[in-house]
Structure formats: structure tokens, C-alpha cells
């Protein structure tokens, strides 16, 4: 293990989904896992096998996938108090999960042992030991989470440490100290971590909740003060129950940039802003513009001395360079880093803008104006590429919209149906088609497909796989602006498109039109390359 390596353990898909307003589909979780693997997260905790149909389906998918970097972690508890580990149903589910590693939690508080699970202190220790010992027969790596450890240590320090020793003696590879109630302040928290480091030989990890607003500080301070802490647990954007978990989008930059620790794959810290915004879009959450490091306003300078000063010497007004975390400075005079990002992104599409700064400036201006209206392109790569191609004159016009309309009706059986009519021009031909659907967007999608399928049979390969709506300014009620994000696939490639409007149907049409145009463009290009 490298001396300065800190292993990052992401629990967004398990602990993060316990947030009151976060719900992820199996497809959402697979997309997030791909991104976490790409950026170089060491451990991805995905849930408890068979705890619900969604997790059961997720594990069945994961058994068919291999990840080149991240380890997939299944989560579970110790055996039941009156059961043998080898006969415990939950233990068997963990063994059959197909995961690379197991994270198992046990009670590290005498209060919880006696009053919550209602067993003896000795039996609780036996439960921990037996469970870790049993799982070590099947997995090379077991991570033990000492649940309620900090509160348990404050109440009965000797017993709390005994629970950790039981896991260590059974073969646990990491011992993680959990502030499950989230109530500890950095000073006391780190004193406890330091005391434990003198008694436990196994590498330590920390897991803090944010009920006192100190989860990130507790995590970073633990790593800074205690060399034995080699694992940090948390979630992307701090999602989690109650007040949330420690935010990895703050922890990782602090560890890498301030403490010179290695957390992600070499050079991948510059992708963390994109990861943060991607996860917020997939989770259908409003991104926190003021989130440290990755928020849209994290490096914003508004007028006066700051705006003038930062244009002369940015380090005088910023604690890091925004490019190091993939973010950009929010003042017009110093948007050079934004221009560079556009040039690099355009290269991915096969478009060279190095010597065309006029078009780069036009794109930058358009992006700024559209983001002000509510657009975000982190999870809408399809719409962004179409914008670039439009500015450079490389966007193909497959059809021209004349108009569309949508009617909704409810039958006597209380069944709601939508009917859409789409009028388009292809070449010199005017085409009108009508279709029904189970909603206005579904009806529009069907009508558009009917209108263009004779000219573009490739449309059959393109499917809409997800549809999300976000209200951007709730206080305006029914006059609020909405953002629609559509995810589409042709079976091989997946892309996102976006629309923004006060009218949800108009926003949906924008995202839908971009989705179809982008899909047709890439399917046709693939055919040419194949030929």
C-alpha cells in the first residue's frame, strides 16, 4: 500500500439513497457505477443483495460485468443473535452476491447491543467475530463498519474497542469507525480515532454523517492527524439520510490538493465537477450552486475589487485553481479556462477549434446564456455536441419542424390518453403524422417517428431509455421554468439531451428533437465507418 494512498469508499448507491428525496433506478445505478469506475473510486458499495427487488436486479446485472478499477462491494449486517453464521440467510446472500468485497456492520455500542438488538454484550462480540470469520472463507477482503462507534466509545470506550478487536481477530481487512448519528465535532472525533489507532493493528477507515455539519471536517482531520486512517467513506454530493453523509466531492479535493494524498486515478481529480453534476442529474436533484469545489458558483466573482483583482492574479482571491477540479471561473474577462475546455471537448467530436477562437467565443457566450436560462450540459452530451456542430456549420438538418400539437383526453374508464400531430418538412416534402401515446411526450415521440421513418429507417434503432423533469424556480408555481433531460440509446451508445422552457411540452420537444437528430447522425456515421 502506498504511504500516501487513501482508499475512497463510495456509498452513494446504498447510504446515499436513504436520503428522503433520492431514488435511483437500476439503470441509474449502473450509469453511476460506470462513472465512479472511470474516475477511479476504489470501492463502490451498491447495496444489500435481495433486500428489495431493485437491488436483486442490480446484483444480477453486476455479475455479468467486470470493472477495470473499482471493487464492487455488497453491504450487510452480522448474523442474527440466535443463529449460526453458516445458517444465516443474510450471510448466504452476501456469499452469493458476486461482489468483490463485503462491508459488514456490527454494533459497537453497548447501548445498542443491549437495548436495540436486545442481546448480551458477549453475544454481540460473538456475532461480529463469527460473521467476519465466516465471510473470510469466501472473500479475500472484508470491511467492518463499527456502527455507532463514536457514541459507543463515549459511553463505554473499553467495550467499543472490544467490538473492533473482535472483527480484527476474525480477519477484517479494514476497521471503519462510524459516527452514525453524526453528532461529533472534529476535536473529540479525532481524539477517539487517535486512541483507537494505538489499539487496532488493521488499517482504519472513517464514516461520518453530517448532522452537526462536520462530516467533511471530521473525515479530512482524521486523515491529517492519524496516519493509520487509510479509508474514507462518503457519498457523491453528500447524499444520505437526515442531513446527509460526508461529501466525497469535498473530501477528495481536500485530501489530494491540501494534504497531497492520492485518492483517485492519477490526473482524474479534474473530472470530479463533472461527476458531481452528472450524479445530481441522474438522481434528479437540484445541484447546489454553492457546493465547495464543484458548485457552479464555487469560483464566482461578482463585481468590484474581487472581479478586478482575480483577473490580475487569481491566487489572491481563490484557494485553488478551478481547473484542478474541472470547474471554471465565473467572470467574463477570465473565461480562458472555459474556452480551453470547449476546444478539448470539440476534439472528442472530431472538430478542431484550436485556430478558430471566434467560434469558441461564440460557443462560450451561448453556453453562458443558456446556463443562465437553466440549461446544464453535464448530463446532456448529445445536446452539447449538436450545439458545437451548429456553430461550426457541421450539424445535419434531417427535418424541419413546421408545428406540432398535443391533445389530452380521458375516457369514461378514467384512462388518460394523449394524441400528437407533427408537421415536418424533409427536403421539399411536407409530412403530417398523428399518433397516440400514454402521455404527451410518448405521443410526440411516436408521431415524429412515423413522420420520418420512411426517409430515415435508422430511427428504429433509437430508443428513449429515461425521462426526467426538474422544476427550476418552484416559487413561480405553474409558471415555473422546467428542465427536461432525456436519455436515449441505440443499443451501443447512450446519450443525454436537454430542453428548458416554461412550457413542459416545449422543453420536452427540445430534448426529444435533439435526441432523434443526435441518434440519426451517429447511426449514419457508424454505417459509413462500417462501410
**Residue 263 located in a structural domain:** yes
Res 475 pLDDT > 80 = no
* Angle made by CA atoms 475, 211, 161, in degrees to the nearest 5: 160
Quick one: pLDDT band at residue 357, thresholds 50, 70, 90? confident
Pair (129, 162) in one structural domain:
yes
Domain housing 410: 399-455
Count of domains in the chain?
3
Query: 121 with 19, same domain?
Result: yes
Q: What pLDDT, on the 0 to 100 scale, is given for residue 287? A: 83
Q: In this structure, are 51 and 107 located in the same domain?
A: yes
Tens digits of residue pLDDT in 402-448: 999 999 988 777 888 999 999 999 988 999 999 999 899 999 999 99
Q: Which of 437, 455, 473 is the last residue of a domain?
A: 455
- Mean pLDDT (the chain) is 90
* Residue 175 resides in a domain: yes
Of 186-195, 339-348, 390-399, 434-443, which has the strongest mean pLDDT?
A: 186-195
Please state, in angstroms and rounded to a whole number, the distance separating the CA atoms of residues 526 and 531: 9
Of 224, 255, 282, the residue that ends a domain is: 282
Angle made by CA atoms 253, 6, 22, in degrees to the nearest 5: 60
* CA distances, 317 to each of 273, 309, 313 (Å): 20, 7, 8
* Residues 375 and 441 placed together within one structural domain of the fold: no
Say if residue 118 is in the same domain as residue 244.
Answer: yes
Q: Are residues 381 and 477 in the same domain?
A: yes
What crossing angle do the helices spanning 381-391 and 336-348 adopt, rounded to 10°? 100
Mean pLDDT of the region 451-471:
91
Does 77 have pLDDT greater than 60?
A: yes
Pure H helices in 40-178: 53-62, 89-95, 110-111, 121-136, 149-155, 157-169
Cell of 290: 454553492
Alpha carbon distance 218, 246 (integer Å): 9
**Nearest CA to 193 among 216, 214, 224, 172?**
224
**What is the CATH classification number for the domain harbouring 500?**
3.30.160.340
Q: Which residues of 419-436 are buried (b: 16+ CB within 10 A; e: fewer)?
A: bbbbbbebeeeebebebe
Does residue 178 sit within a domain? yes
- What is the distance between the alpha carbons of residues 10 and 20, in angstroms, rounded to a whole number? 19
**Cell numbers of 152, please?**
459507543
In this structure, is residue 329 part of a structural domain? Answer: no
Same domain? 183 vs 275: yes
pLDDT, mean of residues 117-126: 97
Residue 176 belongs to a domain? yes
- 264 and 206 both lie in a single domain: yes
127 part of a folded domain: yes
**CA distance linking residue 126 with residue 119, whole number of Å:** 11
CATH number, position 414: 3.30.160.740
Residue 111 lies in a domain: yes
Residue 415 falls within a domain, yes or no?
yes
On whether both 471 and 365 belong to a single domain, the answer is: yes
Residue 32: which CATH number? Answer: 3.20.20.70
Residues 511 and 431 in one domain: no
Domain boundary among 256, 282, 308: 282
Confidence of residue 376 (pLDDT cuts 50, 70, 90): confident
Is the domain of 438 the same as that of 521? no
* 437 and 520 housed in the same domain: no
Model confidence at 192, pLDDT cuts 50, 70, 90, reads: very high
The β-bridge partners of 293 are none
The answer to which of 109-123, 159-173, 468-482 has the lowest mean pLDDT is 468-482
Amino acid at each position: 500500500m502506498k504511504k500516501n494512498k487513501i482508499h475512497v469508499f463510495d456509498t452513494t448507491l446504498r447510504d446515499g439513497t436513504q436520503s428522503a428525496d433520492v431514488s435511483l433506478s437500476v439503470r441509474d445505478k449502473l450509469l453511476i457505477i460506470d462513472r465512479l469506475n472511470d474516475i477511479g473510486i476504489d470501492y463502490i458499495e451498491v447495496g444489500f443483495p435481495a433486500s428489495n427487488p431493485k437491488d436483486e436486479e442490480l446484483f444480477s446485472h453486476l455479475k455479468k460485468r467486470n470493472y477495470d478499477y473499482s471493487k464492487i462491494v455488497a453491504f450487510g449486517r452480522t448474523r442474527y443473535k440466535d443463529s449460526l453464521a453458516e445458517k444465516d440467510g443474510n450471510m448466504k446472500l452476501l456469499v452469493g452476491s458476486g461482489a468483490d468485497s463485503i462491508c459488514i456492520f456490527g454494533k459497537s455500542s453497548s447501548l445498542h447491543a443491549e437495548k436495540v438488538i436486545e442481546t448480551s454484550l458477549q453475544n454481540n462480540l460473538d456475532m461480529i467475530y463469527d460473521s467476519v470469520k465466516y465471510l473470510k472463507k469466501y472473500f479475500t477482503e472484508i470491511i467492518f463498519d463499527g456502527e455507532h462507534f463514536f457514541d459507543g466509545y463515549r459511553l463505554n470506550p473499553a467495550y467499543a474497542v472490544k467490538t473492533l478487536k473482535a472483527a480484527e481477530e476474525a480477519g477484517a481487512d479494514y476497521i471503519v469507525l462510524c459516527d452514525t448519528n453524526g453528532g461529533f465535532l472534529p476535536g473529540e472525533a479525532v481524539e477517539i480515532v487517535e486512541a483507537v489507532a494505538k489499539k487496532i493493528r488493521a488499517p482504519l477507515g472513517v464514516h461520518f454523517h453530517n448532522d452537526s455539519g462536520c462530516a467533511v471536517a471530521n473525515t479530512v482531520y482524521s486523515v491529517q492527524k492519524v496516519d493509520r486512517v487509510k479509508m474514507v467513506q462518503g457519498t457523491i454530493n453528500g447524499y444520505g439520510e437526515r442531513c446527509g453523509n460526508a461529501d466525497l466531492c469535498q473530501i477528495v479535493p481536500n485530501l489530494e490538493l491540501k494534504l497531497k494524498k492520492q485518492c483517485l486515478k492519477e490526473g482524474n481529480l479534474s473530472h470530479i465537477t463533472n461527476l458531481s453534476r452528472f450524479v445530481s442529474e441522474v438522481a434528479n436533484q437540484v445541484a447546489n450552486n454553492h457546493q465547495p469545489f464543484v458548485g457552479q458558483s464555487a469560483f464566482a466573482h461578482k463585481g468590484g475589487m474581487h472581479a478586478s483583482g482575480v483577473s490580475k492574479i487569481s491566487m489572491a482571491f481563490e484557494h485553488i485553481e478551478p481547473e484542478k477540479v474541472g470547474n471554471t471561473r465565473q467572470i467574463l474577462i477570465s473565461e480562458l479556462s472555459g474556452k480551453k475546455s470547449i476546444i478539448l471537448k470539440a476534439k472528442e467530436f472530431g472538430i478542431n477549434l484550436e485556430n478558430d477562437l471566434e467560434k469558441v467565443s461564440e460557443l462560450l457566450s451561448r453556453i453562458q446564456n443558456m446556463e443562465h436560462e437553466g440549461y446544464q450540459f453535464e448530463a446532456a452530451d448529445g445536446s452539447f455536441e449538436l450545439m458545437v456542430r451548429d456553430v461550426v456549420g457541421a450539424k445535419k438538418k434531417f427535418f424541419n419542424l413546421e408545428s406540432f400539437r398535443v391533445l389530452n383526453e380521458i375516457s369514461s374508464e378514467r384512462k388518460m390518453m394523449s394524441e400528437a400531430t407533427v408537421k415536418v418538412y424533409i427536403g421539399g416534402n411536407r409530412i403530417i403524422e398523428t399518433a397516440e401515446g400514454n402521455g404527451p411526450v410518448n405521443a410526440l415521440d411516436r408521431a415524429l417517428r412515423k413522420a420520418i421513418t420512411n426517409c430515415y429507417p435508422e430511427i428504429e434503432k433509437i430508443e428513449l431509455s429515461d425521462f426526467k423533469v426538474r422544476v427550476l424556480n418552484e416559487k413561480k408555481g405553474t409558471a415555473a421554468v422546467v428542465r427536461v433531460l432525456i436519455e436515449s440509446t441505440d443499443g451501443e451508445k447512450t446519450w443525454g439531451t436537454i430542453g428548458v422552457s416554461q412550457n413542459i411540452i416545449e422543453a420536452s420537444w427540445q430534448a426529444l428533437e435533439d435526441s432523434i437528430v443526435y441518434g440519426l447522425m451517429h447511426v449514419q456515421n457508424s454505417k459509413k465507418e462500417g462501410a
